[in-house]
């Protein structure tokens, strides 16, 4: 057996090294020295701690960060004081506990460092207590019924595993957020808990397989972030974009993404300048922004950092989204993170590249050159396969939000079926395992390009598949369903916990086994046989797959509200409780919050539509109709026997559509009112919003979009898709 020794290259140093090579080659060494100076310059990272903290304090803090040993309050005092001095040097005046409530975005409340003295002056102070614990009022954050508004107290607790940083003149301290009674009110707490759960179970498996060197297993993630950029002036004229983040109206432009000329296309200067400044801001925050390019849809782009631990990557992704929006404004641009800002062209997602690695550098999902012999890899691979099959509903709900409903299981979208892509090589091994044992690995070989001056490239043993929601991509899985605007905490704590459970089942068996190798073989054969239904290597976007998946018994959960049922399914409540990731109460609260969020989102969208239709579109089309009528009268009054059939036909068509528009507005208004009044059962109310209000929004839009194609563009009250998509 040859366990894989491929090193996980997470971490700042490797990044800098790689960067050195690239920059030194292209721009000369001068720029590179600038870059290494700015990278992480706003982060209280390991290097800063090592340099500034007394040795004993540094050691104690490191023990807490790496081994989870509780922190001594005296140590916290020293750290706080050093942190404050460092922050003041960087020009900060305030500190804030930075946390991630269940709104999916981040929250911060700033306190200045000043403390008054007897002589009427101030000194700068920051204590260990202030570093460790904060007490923000929690009553205005979503809690899903965990707490009543009169129990306002909430606590934030320092998460020292994610470094503090400076943003907008404040020292930001990453924290977890919980209620007075100790329930998690945020996205970070369950993530941290799930990382511990996975580490513990994975280590048991590793030990049973004979590993004596690893002390910790770390889950890693590199999220590829997609986004749209539009011109600020154009954006300002669209109430829908301002209020909801997506266009609620808009006829299809003559050109969409069909020419595929935007993907990887040369960057426009304005975009390039934006991306450059964005990179720099992110680097200052220690975020290793690495890849940037144009995406498939016009005005769509992508940014990917180098992966790191799921905890830090989640913080970094939140900061990235925040920074993307802020920097865009400096360039008179607006960054749209919504999953589907425009109908008819691609929406945005976040590809959650996930893996597991040991503290001594083994990527547990690296197949190596001979995967069939790599016992350790196969065990972890099959554990993931089983986990995804058994907890597909949890993965599905982790990727569910109202915006993503347009990207999954909808008209223009791929089906919302969870399946795994493995590729030829692993598929072949799986088949061998099912038949009793794997004895060979297919090889990629070499790829001849047919031009003698070009090198023969080594061919990967497996192709990529862009249509799979959960694709194996070499040494990691890429969960592609994740919504572009959402926190990646949810998807990652779901994956971590589901995999932890299966690893615990594997460990139970291996720890008892007399012949570990034989038991491994038995486990692999069993897992493959029972869970091969989740593996699908074909075209995930095809209609045939929908039929095939149904035959296999795989769920196709089309809407967010249906997906939320997974949060209160008994098997999932039991799972989350078993690993103390989320208690029953905490799960139920997340179910409530998801539904409430759905209701509120659709309500805002529907009301925005009504307002735009009534006060912008209707007046515009009436004006246009009046213009035509006036023109017909004018022509007739000249006494010339001119043909006015064109004008008359247009007027008839516009008037008929205007009548329908008016009627559809009323129908939508009535539906919103009915749904809003339907208090009581949240699920039933959310269903009304989905299957009544949302449907009627579609009907209203159809007429308005038709009118847009008929009405004089000078009269149309808002910028069109062409202007929004091709204007930057």
**Which positions lie near ligand ADP, rule CB under 6 A?**
8, 220-222, 224, 291, 304-307, 353-355, 363, 475-476
312 or 554, CB closer to ligand ADP? Answer: 312
In the complex, minimum distance from the CB of residue 106 to ligand ADP, in angstroms, rounded to a whole number: 21
Supply the DSSP symbol for 678. -
Length of the chain: 728
All residues at 6 or more sequence positions from 67 whose CB lies less than 8 Å from its CB, including other chains: none
Answer with the entry of ligand ADP, Mg ion, none that 579 interacts with (C-beta below 5 to 8 A by kind): none
Task: Kindly compute the dihedral angle of the four CA atoms of residues 398, 399, 405, 411, in this order, to the nearest 10 degrees.
Answer: -130
| Residue 514, burial from CB neighbour count under 10 angstroms (0-12, 13-18, 19+) | exposed
Q: Rule CB under 5 A: which of 627-686 touch Mg ion?
A: none
Tokens for 486? Answer: 């959402």
Answer with the entry of ligand ADP, Mg ion, none that 291 interacts with (C-beta below 5 to 8 A by kind): ligand ADP
Answer with the entry of Mg ion, ligand ADP, none that 221 interacts with (C-beta below 5 to 8 A by kind): ligand ADP
Q: Give the closest residue to 726 by CA, choosing from 334, 298, 275, 342.
A: 298
308 or 682, CB closer to ligand ADP? Answer: 308
No. of helices (H) and no. of strands (E), the chain: 25, 19
Asked whether the beta carbons of 152 and 139 are under 8 A apart, the reply is: yes
Answer with the entry of Mg ion, ligand ADP, none that 664 interacts with (C-beta below 5 to 8 A by kind): none
The residue of the chain with the least Cβ separation from Mg ion equals: 351
222 or 717, CB closer to ligand ADP? Answer: 222
Q: Give the closest residue to 401 by CA, choosing from 103, 184, 674.
A: 103
Answer with the entry of Mg ion, ligand ADP, none that 306 interacts with (C-beta below 5 to 8 A by kind): ligand ADP
In the complex, minimum distance from the CB of residue 291 to ligand ADP, in angstroms, rounded to a whole number: 5
How many residues at the interface with Mg ion, by CB under 5 A? 2
Task: Kindly compute the dihedral angle of the four CA atoms of residues 690, 105, 195, 425, in this order, to the nearest 10 degrees.
Answer: 60
188 or 351, CB closer to Mg ion? Answer: 351
In the complex, minimum distance from the CB of residue 132 to ligand ADP, in angstroms, rounded to a whole number: 30
Asked whether the beta carbons of 491 and 568 are under 8 A apart, the reply is: no
Distance CA 107, CA 140 (A): 11
In the complex, minimum distance from the CB of residue 219 to ligand ADP, in angstroms, rounded to a whole number: 8
In the complex, minimum distance from the CB of residue 292 to ligand ADP, in angstroms, rounded to a whole number: 10
In the complex, minimum distance from the CB of residue 460 to Mg ion, in angstroms, rounded to a whole number: 15
In the complex, minimum distance from the CB of residue 224 to Mg ion, in angstroms, rounded to a whole number: 5
Supply the DSSP symbol for 701. H
224 or 405, CB closer to ligand ADP? Answer: 224
Nearest-10 crossing angle of helices 310-330, 188-208: 140
257 or 473, CB closer to ligand ADP? Answer: 473
| Residue 545, burial from CB neighbour count under 10 angstroms (0-12, 13-18, 19+) | buried
Distance CA 206, CA 375 (A): 11
355 or 525, CB closer to ligand ADP? Answer: 355
In the complex, minimum distance from the CB of residue 365 to ligand ADP, in angstroms, rounded to a whole number: 7
99 or 354, CB closer to ligand ADP? Answer: 354
Beta bridge partners of 159: none
Distance CA 109, CA 621 (A): 47
**Dihedral sign for Cα atoms in the order 243, 249, 255, 258:** positive
Task: Kindly compute the dihedral angle of the four CA atoms of residues 509, 511, 517, 519, in this order, to the nearest 10 degrees.
Answer: -20
In the complex, minimum distance from the CB of residue 496 to ligand ADP, in angstroms, rounded to a whole number: 13
Q: Rule CB under 5 A: which of 331-370 touch Mg ion?
A: 351
- State the binding string over 216-235 for Mg ion (x if CB under 5 A, else -): --------x-----------
Q: Other CB atoms closer than 10 Å to residue 115's CB: what's the count?
A: 11
189 or 353, CB closer to ligand ADP? Answer: 353
The residue of the chain with the least Cβ separation from ligand ADP equals: 222
Answer with the entry of Mg ion, ligand ADP, none that 355 interacts with (C-beta below 5 to 8 A by kind): ligand ADP
The site for Mg ion (CB under 5 A) is made up of 224, 351
């Amino acid at each position: 057996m040859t366990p894989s020794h491929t090193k996980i290259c997470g971490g700042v140093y490797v990044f800098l090294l790689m960067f050195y090579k690239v920059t030194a080659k292209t721009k000369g060494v001068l720029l590179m020295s600038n870059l290494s100076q700015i990278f992480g310059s706003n982060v209280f990272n390991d290097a800063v701690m090592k340099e500034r903290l007394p040795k004993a304090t540094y050691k104690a803090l490191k023990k807490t960060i790496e081994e989870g040993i509780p922190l001594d309050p005296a140590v916290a005092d020293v750290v706080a004081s050093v942190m404050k001095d460092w922050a003041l040097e960087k020009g900060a005046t305030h500190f804030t506990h930075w946390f991630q409530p269940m709104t999916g975005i981040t929250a911060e409340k700033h306190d200045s460092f000043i403390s008054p003295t007897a002589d009427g002056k101030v000194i700068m102070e920051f204590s260990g207590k202030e570093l460790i614990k904060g007490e923000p009022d929690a009553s205005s954050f979503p809690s899903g019924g965990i707490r009543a508004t009169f129990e306002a107290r909430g606590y934030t607790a320092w998460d020292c595993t994610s470094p503090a940083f400076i943003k907008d003149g404040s020292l930001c301290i990453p924290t977890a957020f919980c209620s007075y009674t100790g329930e998690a009110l945020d996205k970070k707490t369950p993530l941290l808990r799930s990382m511990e759960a996975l580490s513990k179970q994975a280590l048991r498996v590793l030990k049973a397989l004979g590993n004596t060197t690893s002390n910790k297993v770390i889950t890693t993630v590199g999220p590829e972030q997609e986004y749209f950029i539009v011109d600020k002036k154009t954006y300002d004229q669209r109430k829908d974009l301002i209020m909801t983040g997506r266009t609620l109206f808009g006829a299809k432009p003559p050109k969409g993404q069909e020419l595929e000329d935007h993907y990887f296309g040369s960057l426009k200067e304005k975009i390039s300048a934006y991306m450059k400044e964005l990179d720099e801001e992110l680097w200052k925050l220690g975020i290793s922004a690495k890849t940037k390019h144009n995406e498939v849809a016009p005005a769509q782009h992508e940014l990917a950092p180098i992966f790191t631990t799921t905890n830090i990557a989640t913080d970094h992704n939140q900061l990235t989204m925040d920074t993307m929006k802020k920097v865009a404004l400096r360039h008179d641009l607006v960054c749209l993170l919504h999953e589907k800002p425009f109908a008819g062209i691609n929406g945005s997602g976040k590809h959650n590249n996930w893996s597991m690695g040991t503290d001594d550098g083994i990527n547990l999902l690296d197949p190596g050159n001979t995967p069939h012999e790599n016992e350790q890899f196969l065990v972890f691979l099959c554990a993931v396969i089983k986990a995804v099959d058994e907890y597909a509903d949890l993965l599905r709900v982790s990727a569910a939000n109202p915006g993503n409903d347009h990207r999954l299981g909808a008209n223009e979208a791929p089906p919302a079926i969870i399946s795994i892509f493995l590729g030829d090589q692993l598929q072949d091994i799986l088949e061998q395992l099912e038949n009793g044992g794997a004895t060979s690995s297919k090889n990629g070989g070499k790829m001849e390009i047919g031009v003698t001056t070009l090198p023969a490239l080594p061919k990967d043993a497996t192709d990529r598949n862009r249509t799979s929601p959960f694709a194996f991509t070499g040494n990691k899985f890429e969960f592609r369903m994740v919504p572009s605007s959402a926190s990646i905490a949810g998807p990652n704590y779901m994956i971590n916990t589901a995999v932890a459970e299966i690893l615990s089942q594997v460990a139970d068996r291996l720890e008892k086994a007399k012949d570990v190798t034989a038991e491994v073989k038995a486990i692999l054969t069993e897992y493959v046989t029972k869970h091969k239904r989740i593996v699908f290597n074909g075209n995930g976007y095809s209609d045939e797959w929908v039929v095939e998946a149904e035959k296999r018994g795989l769920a196709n959960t089309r809407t967010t509200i249906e997906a939320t049922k997974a949060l209160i399914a008994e098997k999932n409540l039991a799972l989350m409780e078993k690993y103390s990731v989320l208690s029953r109460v905490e799960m139920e609260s997340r179910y409530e919050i998801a539904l409430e969020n759905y209701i509120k989102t659709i309500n805002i969208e529907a009301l925005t539509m009504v307002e735009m239709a009534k006060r912008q579109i209707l007046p515009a089309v009436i004006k246009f109709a009046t213009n035509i009528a006036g023109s017909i009268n004018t022509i007739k009054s000249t006494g010339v026997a001119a043909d006015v059939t064109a004008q008359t036909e247009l007027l008839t068509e516009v008037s008929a559509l205007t009548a329908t528009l008016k009627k559809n507005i009323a129908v939508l208004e009535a539906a919103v009112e009915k749904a809003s009044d339907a208090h009581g059962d949240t699920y039933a109310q959310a269903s009304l919003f989905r299957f009544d209000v949302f449907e009627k929004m579609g009907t209203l839009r159809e007429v308005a979009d038709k009118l847009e194609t008929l009405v004089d563009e000078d009269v149309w009250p808002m910028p069109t898709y062409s202007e929004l998509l091709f204007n930057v």
